[in-house]
Structure 1
Amino acid sequence: MNTLIVYASKYGCAEKCAELLSKELIGKVDIINLKRVSDIDISKYEKIIIGGSIYIGKIQKEVREFCSKNLDKLTEKRIGLFICGMQEGEIINTEFSQNFNPELIRITDVKEHFGGEFIFDKMNFMEKIIVKKVSKVTSNKSNILENNIHKFAQVMNTI
């Protein structure tokens, strides 16, 4: 089966997670960064995985636009959704419901939070101040949840 992973990433965490995920999937896997490619023919894929990073409660507009533009076609596919971010607990479910169409969530085979990163070298001055104040983090921090990526891949491989 052909699988497509589409994502958007501001600092690269969602891209890292998409790459890690692709290595665990069976069959042909294509990965597309929605910030670079917007016109995608999804008809040749049976499985589509959509993901991105959450910033201030929002996923990138490229992900929202892809889902909106392709919603009718996506209902005919096996779907996986992932988000990246440093959030924890119930906030994760809220962010899925606030960032993905309810119809898309309803037909989703698997959804998962893959963790996140704070990479200060890639942030502008204001972003650094906000992260330090809100998250109480003062240096680079990576919390990519490889076990969640592995569990997600296992589900996608069995559908």
Structure 2
Amino acid sequence: MKKALLLHSSREGQTVKILKAMESELADEYQCELVDLHAVSSVNIDNYDKVLIGASIRYGHLNKKLYQFIETHLTALKDKKAAFFCVNLTARKPGKDTPEGSVYVKKFLKLSPWQPELIGVFAGALYYPRYKLFDRVMIQFIMRMTGGETDATKEVEYTNWERVKEFSERFRSL
């Protein structure tokens, strides 16, 4: 059976949830290994047929460990069938949920030496009751500015699971 490496840089867990959904979509053809980019210093990418990296935005930025991982494994990522997706709350709005419309993907492509052949953008989730006070207040402020949910008692999932399934199929076809 072919092997796929599913890497994540996730803060609140929605990126992992998305990768697990993709893993189940790929399970009939690929043995998938889910790995936290923050928990490993190195991975032997040569052991895998495909690589998928999912990363979440936090306060407007991807985690610097993502860029460090890319720098370290750049040659292997370029040699493999590899894809990237970004998870953020801005993608809840039409037009912001595509690589062309996402300011975060545009920024990633400027900063990253790796230019994946397949890129996705998915809306994340709000988990207000789970956040620490500082994060809750900051996210409420951002959501207020962008016309989003501000009720601190709510958990709202914006992820479009049909688009996740479609992206999984495109990744399978790489």
Which residue number in structure 1 is paired with residue 39 of structure 2?
36
Worse-superposed segment, 95-104 or 132-141? 95-104
Give me the TM-score of the superposition, normalised by structure 2.
0.82
2-structure distance, mates of 1:130, 1:110: 32
Give the SS at the match of 2:70: helix
Shift of 1:38: 2.4
**Higher RCO (CA-CA < 8 Å; seq separation 6+):** 1
Shift of 1:56: 1.9
Residue 140, structure 1, aligned to residue 155, structure 2: yes
1-structure distance, mates of 2:102, 2:112: 12
Shift of 1:93: 2.8
Shift of 1:83: 0.9
Residues 113, 148 of structure 1: 8 Å contact kept: no
What is the aligned counterpart of 1:122 among 117, 126, 130?
A: 130
Segments of structure 2 that go 5 or more residues without pairing to the other structure are: 145-149
Give me the TM-score of the superposition, normalised by structure 1.
0.89
Shift of 1:102: 4.9
Shift of 1:90: 4.2
Residue 104, structure 1, aligned to residue 119, structure 2: no
Which residue number in structure 2 is paired with residue 75 of structure 1?
78
Q: Which runs of 4+ in 1 moved over 3 A?
A: 100-103
Equivalent residues, number = 157
RMSD: 1.8
Residues 88, 124 of structure 2: 8 Å contact kept: yes
Which residue number in structure 2 is paired with residue 157 of structure 1?
172
Which residue number in structure 2 is paired with residue 11 of structure 1?
12
One-letter code of the match for 1:96?
V
Identity %: 17
Residues 102, 121 of structure 2: 8 Å contact kept: no
Q: For residues 88-142 of structure 1, give each alpha carbon's deviation from its aligned partner in whole angstroms, at most 9, with x where no partner exists.
A: 334853211212455422xx23211121011113312111112212203222211
Which residue number in structure 1 is paired with residue 21 of structure 2?
20
Which residue number in structure 1 is paired with residue 147 of structure 2?
none
Give the SS at the match of 2:54: strand
Residues 3, 50 of structure 2: 8 Å contact kept: yes
